[in-house]
C-alpha cells in the first residue's frame, strides 16, 4: 500500500528541493541496495557495488556538462567554504597576485580567505550599488600575469547571475558555481576550475564537486597538507579517504533524473519559464513588488524582492507560510523575500507562488 505523501512548496535556498522521483528511488533502495543486502550507506567505499555508483556519477556529470577529457572531476567535502581556502592554498604562488570579482557575500568570503595566503585584489565590485548587478565584462580589471581570476557565477543572497563569462586567455578562470551549476549549458573549457556545493542543483549537502583542468593540477603548490591538495584526490579518484557515499549516490541519481528530463537545454528552458512567472508578477505590480537585482543581472535561480513596507513584507511572508510556501524569507543580511527556483522545484510551485503574489496585491493594496 502506497502512503499518501504531503509535500510542501519548497523554495529553500539550500539545502534545497530534490526531485521527488529521486527521493522515491532512494527510499526503495535504502535498506537493500541492488541486492547487496545492505544500504548504500553501509557499503564499503572500496567495494565493487559502491565503485560503480561513484564512477557512474562522474561519467554522468561529464556527459551532461560536456566536460572535456583534459579535466578531472572530483568529489570532495567541506562545501564551497573549504574551497575558498583550498584554491589560494594550491594556486596562489609567492610573488604573484590573484584577482577576485566582488558580487556578493560569498565572493567577499572567498576574497577574505584568499588574503590569508597571499596577495589578492579586487578586479571589480558592485558593492557600492548594493550588489544589484554583475559587472560588465569590459569593467573587469585584472592583469595577464595574475595567478587566477575568481568569480561567483550566481549570488543567492542578492539574486544576481552572470549571463556571459569573460575570456581570460592565459589567466586561469575559477568559478564558484554552487547555486547555478547544472541549470544551463556552459562552456567548461573557459574555466580552469569550477567548484560547487551539491545542495542546490546536484543533490544533498555534504558533497562538493570540483571540475579542474589537468594542467592546473601540475602547477599547484606542493608544500601543503595532503588532504588539501587537489592532486591527492585526482590521483585517487576521490577515494583517498572515505567519501560521502550516500551523497554521491544521490548526486548520481539526480544526474540520471536530469538526463531523463532532456539534459541541460530542457532544464534551462524550464528554469527560464519558472523564473519568468515570478519576475512577471514583480514587473506588472506597478512597484508594489520591488526587485533587488537589475534586470540585466537577474538570477534564474534566486529571485529577490521587497514590498513597499516592512509591515506588508511580514504579512506577505506570514501568509505565504500558512499557504505551504517554505523558505521564501530573504537572507537575514538584507531581508525581504527570496524565491529559489532550483532545478527540482516544480513549475507548478512557481505558478502557485506567482498566483499568490498577484492575489496578495489585490487584497492588500
Mean pLDDT, range 171-186, rounded to an integer: 98
pLDDT digits (tens, 9 = 90+) for 29-73: 999 999 999 999 999 999 999 999 999 999 999 999 999 999 999
Flag whether pLDDT at 357 surpasses 50. Answer: yes
Flag whether pLDDT at 211 surpasses 70. Answer: yes
State the architecture of 25-260 in CATH terms. Answer: 3-Layer(aba) Sandwich (3.40)
Q: Is residue 1 very low, low, confident or very high in pLDDT (cuts 50, 70, 90)?
A: very low
pLDDT of residue 43: 96
* Arithmetic mean of pLDDT over the chain: 96
Question: Which residues, including other chains, have CB under 8 Å from residue 280's CB and lie 6 or more apart?
Answer: 354
pLDDT of residue 333: 84
The region that residue 93 occupies, defined by phi over 0 for left and psi between -120 and 50 for alpha, beta otherwise, is beta
φ/ψ of residue 253, rounded to 5: -70, -35
pLDDT digits (tens, 9 = 90+) for 249-283: 999 999 999 999 999 999 999 999 999 999 999 99
pLDDT of residue 4: 55
Q: Are strands 119-125 and 97-102 parallel, antiparallel or unpaired?
A: parallel
Mean pLDDT, range 136-164, rounded to an integer: 98
Q: What residue segments make up the domains of the chain, in order of their start?
A: 25-260, 263-363
pLDDT digits (tens, 9 = 90+) for 298-315: 999 999 999 999 999 999
Per the model's pLDDT, the better-predicted residue between 4 and 10 turns out to be 10
Q: Residues 26, 29, 31, 36: is their CA dihedral positive or negative?
A: negative
The region that residue 314 occupies, defined by phi over 0 for left and psi between -120 and 50 for alpha, beta otherwise, is alpha
Mean pLDDT, range 83-106, rounded to an integer: 97
The CATH class for the domain spanning 263-363 reads: alpha beta
pLDDT of residue 173: 98
pLDDT of residue 252: 98
| Catalytic residue list | 106, 176, 200
φ/ψ of residue 260, rounded to 5: -65, -25
Amino acid at each position: 500500500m502506497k502512503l499518501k505523501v504531503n509535500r510542501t512548496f519548497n523554495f529553500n535556498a539550500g539545502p534545497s528541493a530534490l526531485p521527488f522521483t529521486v527521493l522515491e528511488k532512494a527510499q526503495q533502495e535504502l535498506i537493500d541496495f541492488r541486492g547487496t543486502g545492505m544500504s548504500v550507506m553501509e557499503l564499503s567505499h572500496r567495494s565493487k557495488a559502491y565503485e560503480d555508483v561513484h564512477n557512474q556519477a562522474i561519467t554522468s556529470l561529464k556527459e551532461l556538462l560536456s566536460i572535456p577529457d583534459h579535466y578531472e572531476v572530483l568529489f570532495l567535502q567541506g562545501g564551497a567554504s573549504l574551497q575558498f581556502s583550498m584554491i589560494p592554498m594550491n594556486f596562489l604562488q609567492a610573488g604573484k597576485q590573484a584577482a577576485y570579482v566582488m558580487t556578493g557575500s560569498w565572493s567577499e568570503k572567498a576574497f577574505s580567505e584568499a588574503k590569508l595566503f597571499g596577495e589578492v585584489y579586487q578586479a571589480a565590485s558592485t558593492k557600492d550599488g548594493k550588489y544589484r548587478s554583475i559587472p560588465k565584462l569590459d569593467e573587469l580589471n585584472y592583469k595577464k600575469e595574475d595567478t587566477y581570476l575568481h568569480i561567483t557565477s550566481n549570488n543567492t543572497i542578492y539574486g544576481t547571475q552572470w549571463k556571459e563569462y569573460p575570456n581570460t586567455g592565459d589567466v586561469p578562470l575559477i568559478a564558484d558555481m554552487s547555486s547555478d551549476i547544472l541549470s544551463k549549458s556552459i562552456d567548461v573549457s573557459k574555466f580552469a576550475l569550477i567548484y560547487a556545493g551539491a545542495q542546490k542543483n546536484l543533490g544533498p549537502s555534504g558533497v562538493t564537486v570540483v571540475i579542474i583542468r589537468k594542467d592546473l593540477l601540475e602547477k599547484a603548490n606542493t608544500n601543503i597538507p595532503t588532504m588539501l591538495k587537489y592532486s591527492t584526490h585526482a590521483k585517487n579518484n576521490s577515494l583517498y579517504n572515505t567519501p560521502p557515499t550516500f551523497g554521491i549516490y544521490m548526486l548520481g541519481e539526480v544526474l540520471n533524473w536530469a538526463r531523463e528530463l532532456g539534459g541541460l537545454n530542457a532544464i534551462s528552458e524550464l528554469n527560464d519559464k519558472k523564473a519568468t512567472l515570478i519576475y512577471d508578477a514583480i514587473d506588472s505590480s506597478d512597484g508594489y513588488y520591488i526587485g533587488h537585482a537589475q534586470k540585466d543581472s537577474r538570477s534564474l535561480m534566486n529571485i529577490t524582492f521587497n514590498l513597499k513596507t516592512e509591515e506588508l513584507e511580514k504579512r506577505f511572508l506570514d501568509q505565504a507560510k500558512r499557504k505551504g510556501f517554505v523558505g521564501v524569507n530573504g537572507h537575514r543580511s538584507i531581508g525581504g523575500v527570496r524565491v529559489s527556483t532550483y532545478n527540482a522545484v516544480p513549475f507548478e510551485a512557481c505558478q502557485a507562488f506567482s498566483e499568490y503574489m498577484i492575489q496578495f496585491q489585490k487584497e492588500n493594496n
